[in-house]
Amino acid sequence: MSSDLTTPDGAAWLASAGTSPRSTLALWRERPDAPVVLPCGSVFDVVGVPAVFGRRMVDRLWSEGPGSGPVAAFRGRMMLFAAPGTAQRLPSLLAWEEFGRTGAIPPLLCHGVGDAVTVPALLSTTPPTSGDSRWLVAPDTRHPWLPGPEIVLWAAVRAARAAVRISIFPPADQDAKVYDVSRRR
């Protein structure tokens, strides 16, 4: 996985999403610890996922798939940066996929054209707390690879399958007497 430190090329890529990239870069030069609100839809889309499920998705992307694009944590959710157009296409793919109907995949918040997100500071000077925004996989190039809607769907389905525990044994009767027979002679 990438580091949690945004490189100058990664900062330039992020700033290119805004209406005034030079102003954003100037702000970050003065205050690299300042989060910034950037529009979605032209340079990137963002898929917001509950933190635990998002961690499973990112784990699947890195262990079984092509890796992830930038990933940030913000207010108990993970923000997966995705290819433009993902926010428009992903909801229909989820509706079609059986896991989207069963509740195995939690609600995914898709931010695309017309939306904006708060991106974490380039540099964090304090230890993170649960409400802070921070990079988990920071942008490190001017053209980072961004997963499209099919890859995000694949990761969500894999994460949902990993969360489902299947057992051939029925659930234990809570009132049953249990005897330890492992010490029999």
Mean pLDDT, range 33-60, rounded to an integer: 96
pLDDT classification of 54: cutoffs 50, 70, 90: very high
| Cα–Cα nearest to 38, from 147, 152, 115, 95 | 115
Q: What is the pLDDT of residue 2?
A: 45
The predicted model gives 84-99 an average pLDDT of: 87
The answer, yes or no, to whether residue 167 has pLDDT greater than 60, is no
Distance CA 11, CA 55 (A): 24
Q: pTM (2 decimals)?
A: 0.82
Taking the chain, what is the end-to-end CA distance rounded to the nearest angstrom?
52
